[in-house]
Structure 1
C-alpha cells in the first residue's frame, strides 16, 4: 500500500475509534438526551461554536466537514486557529478542541447567544468569557462531554461529544444567523483557480474543483482531510482583510495574544463558482451583522454549502497563487 493509502487508512481507523468511544454515551448519533437540553436564547436559533486546533499534530480534524461556518483567525506565534459553527447538523464528535481567545467573544456576538465549547482560556480571560452573552461549556462545566482521543499527544487530543452538552441543533443553517443568504453569484469577478491566505507561521489555500463544485482546502501546503480521509471543501470563501493588533492577554508561554478586529469596515474577496469577487465588508457594532456588498452596492449572496471566512491581516492575502 502507498504511503498516502496508509495515511488514509489510519485516518479512517482513528475516526472509527472516536465514534466507538462516543456510541455508548450519545446513542451514536450525537443527539442530546432530554435531560441534557437547556433553553438558550438566540435571535436566529441556537448555534454551537467550537474552538478547534489547527497545527499539524491536530490534523486530520474530526467533524469539521459538518460545520455551517468555519472561521480562521490568527493566534500567538503567527499560527492560525479555527472556530467552527454548527446548527443545521452536528456530528457526534468534534475536535481537537483548544482554548478560546478574546477575538471569539466579539466575533460570536453576531449569533445572538451561542453555545461555546472550548478547552479553557487564559486566567484573566475566563471572567470576561463568563460575562459575555454566550453559554460557555468548557470541560470544567461539562466533564462528561470531553474525552482524550487515542494516538495523539496532549493538548492535540481533546474531543467534544456535542450530545453531552446542553445544545440541540435547530436544523437551520447557521449562515442565516449572519443575515446572509444563498443565491446568484455577483456579476463580474475574475476567474480564479487558487487563493492562498498567509499568516506569519501558517497558510490556508483554496483550489477550485469544478467537478466537486467546491474550493478544496489545503492547510500549510498539505491537503486538508477529515478523520475519515475525505477532502475538506468550501462552497464559498470570504477572505476578509482586518486589523490584527496585540491584546491585553498572553498565553501560558508569555506570548501576547493577537486581537482580530471584526467590527469596522474594509475590503474582502469572495470566492465562489471558480471566480473571485472584490467586495466591501461592514460591521458597525458588535451587535450588528457583517454585510458584504459588491461594487454595484448589492449584498453578496453565497453558494449552497459550507462557508469559510478567513480573517486576514491587512495586506497579507496577496494575489492568487498556485496550490
Structure 2
C-alpha cells in the first residue's frame, strides 16, 4: 500500500522534469525534420511573367506655350519672342509656321506686325525682323526668355530693356547672329539665327505657362461650349483684315490676308489650332505710333475645333499672363497646339464671326 505522504516534493519535481523532456524531444525532432525537408519557396510563373513584360509609363512634361506633351528635359531652354514684319514686301516670312504663339498688333499707317514666339520648335532662321513698339514690353514680359528686334525709338527700346527679358537688337548687335538677306529689299530683309541665339542663352529658364489647356481638342472649352463658326474675320484697318477659316479635313484654322491665302516660306498656308480675337483699346500717347493697351480687360472670342466661345480677357500687370474666362467666369482651356492672338482695336476695328 502506497503512503501518499511519503512521496516527497523533490521526487515529484524530478518526475515532472523527465515528463517534460520526453514530450519536448519528439517535438524538436519533428520541427528539425520539417525545416530540413521543406523546399525553398519560388516565385510563381505568373508573377515572373508579369514582372518581365511590364513597361512603366513614359514620363511626360507639357510645353508651357503649346500644351503638348514631351519627354522630360525637353523644356530646359528659354522662349524666343521676335518682332516680325507683316508688310507685303516681307511676305512670306521665315519660321512663322513653327511658332507656339503669335500676337498680331496694330502699328502706324494701319499696318500690323507680329510678336512671334518660339519655344517647342525653334527654327534656324526667322524673320524679317523689325523694330520694337510701345506695347511689346507688356506682351513679352510674362514670357521671360529672349526678345529680338531690329531697333526702334529709344524710348521704346528703354521700355523693353527695363523688363527682365534678355534683349537682342540688330542696331546694337554684339552676337553676330543678325544679318541681311539678299532675298528681300531693306528694311524688310533682316533675319536672325534663332536657334543659335537660344543656344547661347541656355541658362535662361523656360517660360511659365500662359494659357490653360485641355488634354485634347474635343475637351477644349470652345469645342464643348462654343457655337459652330466657320470664319473669324478681324479688321484692324482698311489695309489689314486677316481671317481664319475652319478646315475640318485637317482639323485646323487656315489664315488669309486681305482675301488671299497667307503662305509660309514653303508655300503652305499658315494654320493654327486656336484663334483668339481680343478687343483692345488703343493709347495714342505716342502720336502716330499706336500703343495697344494690354493691362486691363476686354471682350474676346476663343475659337477651337470649329466652334467659337464668347469670353472675357484680363491682364493684371505687365508681367502677368492673359487670363481667359467664359461668360460664367470659368477659366477657358485651349486645345493643345499653336495659338494666334489677334489684338483688334475697339475704336477702329471689328471682329466678324461667320457661321
CA contact 1:51–1:82 (8 Å) conserved in 2: yes
Q: In the superposition, relative to structure 1, how do residues 321 and 142 fare at CA in structure 2: closer, same or farther (>3 Å)?
A: farther
Aligned to 2:30: none
| Structure 1 position 130 matched with structure 2 position 161 | yes
CA contact 2:84–2:127 (8 Å) conserved in 1: yes
> 1:40-119 alignment to 2 at 5 Å?
46-111=78-143, 113-119=144-150
Aligned to 1:12: none
> 1:202-241 alignment to 2 at 5 Å?
202-241=240-279
CA contact 1:89–1:169 (8 Å) conserved in 2: no
> Could you say what secondary structure the match of 1:144 adopts?
coil
CA contact 2:213–2:336 (8 Å) conserved in 1: no
Which of these residues, 153, 165, 178, is aligned with residue 146 of structure 1?
A: 178
> Could you say what secondary structure the match of 1:318 adopts?
strand
| Structure 1 position 120 matched with structure 2 position 120 | no
Q: In the superposition, relative to structure 1, how do residues 278 and 189 fare at CA in structure 2: closer, same or farther (>3 Å)?
A: same
Q: CA deviation at 1:218?
A: 1.0
Aligned to 2:229: 192
CA contact 2:181–2:190 (8 Å) conserved in 1: yes
Q: Tell me the distance in 2 between the aligned counterparts of 1:155 and 1:196.
A: 29
Q: Tell me the distance in 2 between the aligned counterparts of 1:171 and 1:115.
A: 10
Which of these residues, 278, 284, 295, is aligned with residue 246 of structure 1?
A: 284
Q: Which has the higher contact order (CA 8 A, sep 6+)?
A: 1
Which of these residues, 197, 201, 206, is aligned with residue 167 of structure 1?
A: 201
Q: Deviations over 1:246-269 (max 9, x none)?
A: 133x6xxxxx21111111111100
State the structure with more CA Rg.
2
| Structure 1 position 319 matched with structure 2 position 355 | no
> Could you say what secondary structure the match of 1:311 adopts?
strand
Q: Deviations over 1:199-242 (max 9, x none)?
A: 12211110100111111011222211111111110100110111
Q: Deviations over 1:167-204 (max 9, x none)?
A: 349997x6x52143234222332211111101122111
CA contact 1:88–1:171 (8 Å) conserved in 2: no
Output the TM-score relative to the length of structure 1: 0.78
Q: Deviations over 1:145-185 (max 9, x none)?
A: 1121223210111111013323349997x6x5214323422
Q: Tell me the distance in 1 between the aligned counterparts of 2:232 and 2:133.
A: 26
| Number of aligned residues | 270
Tell me whether 141-150 or 47-56 shows the greater mean CA deviation.
141-150
Q: Tell me the distance in 1 between the aligned counterparts of 2:121 and 2:202.
A: 10
Q: Structure 2: which 5+ residue stretches go unaligned?
A: 1-75
Tell me whether 71-80 or 148-157 shows the greater mean CA deviation.
148-157
Aligned to 2:20: none
Aligned to 1:177: 209
